[in-house]
Amino acid sequence: MTELSLLIRPELPSDSDAIERLHERTFGPGRFARTAFRLREGAPHDASLSFTALVGTLLVGSVRLTPVLAGSQAALMLGPLTVEPAFENRGIGGALMRRSLDAARQEGHALVLLVGDEPYYSRFGFKRIPYRQLELPGPVNVERFLALELAEGSLAPARGMVAVRPVQAA
């Protein structure tokens, strides 16, 4: 069998349909009711910080970052992170995470939030947000509401409601 190598590159507009189908397969129709999905629906993700994984011409994974305000503090909301089920456990999720977090750091972003499994995301440095420090516009399990400080001390001043914010023009 031919070994096809993994390519991680910035998301292109033409990836949208395949990513939507991947989200449908991974999260099902219930995804639209999830608080993080509903929050992100309010504004486009930042294409320069969102990455697609390809094996050959097959789209096998995606990660997106969306600009938000955490109280009055600028932050990014990470997600969805999705890997095609047949391609799980090959390091694709990790490669997408590292690429998007490196890009966010290089662009000077200070804080990344997400809703997800702490046992997975802790390997990238994500930690639980103290209870009620930040709130999402919908129910969220406090054990799954996580933050990564790209700049030390960036979480402490972030207090209140998380809301989407428009992407700044370059």
- Respond yes or no on whether the N-terminal peptide bond of residue 67 is cis (omega within 30° of 0): no
Among 66, 82, 100, 154, binds ligand COA (CB under 6 A): 82
Least distance (Å) from ligand COA to the CB of residue 127?
15
Q: Can you tell me which of 44, 71, 116, 160 binds ligand COA, judged by CB under 6 A?
A: 116
Binding of ligand COA at residue 67 (CB under 6 A)?
no
- Asked if residue 81 binds ligand COA (CB under 6 A), the reply is yes
CB of 89 to ligand COA, least distance (A): 5
User: Which residue pairs from 11-18 have beta carbons closer than 8 angstroms and sit at least 24 positions apart in sequence?
Assistant: 11/45, 11/47, 11/50, 11/51, 11/52, 11/62, 11/64, 12/47, 12/52, 13/47, 15/52, 15/59, 15/62, 18/59
Contact 104, 49 (CB under 8 A): yes
Count of residues in contact with ligand COA, rule CB under 6 A: 17
d(CA 75, CA 162): 9
Work out which of 94, 103, 160, 163 binds ligand COA, going by CB under 6 A: 94
Minimum distance from CB of 144 to ligand COA (Å)? Answer: 9
For ligand COA, the binding residues in 25-44 under the rule CB under 6 A are 26
d(CA 124, CA 109): 16
Part of the chain binding ligand COA (CB under 6 A), chosen from 69-77, 117-125, 126-134, 157-165: 117-125
- Asked if 93 interacts with ligand COA (CB under 6 A), we say yes
Neighbours of 123 (CB within 10 A): 9
Residues lying near ligand COA in the complex (CB under 6 A) are found at 26, 79-83, 88-94, 116-117, 119-120
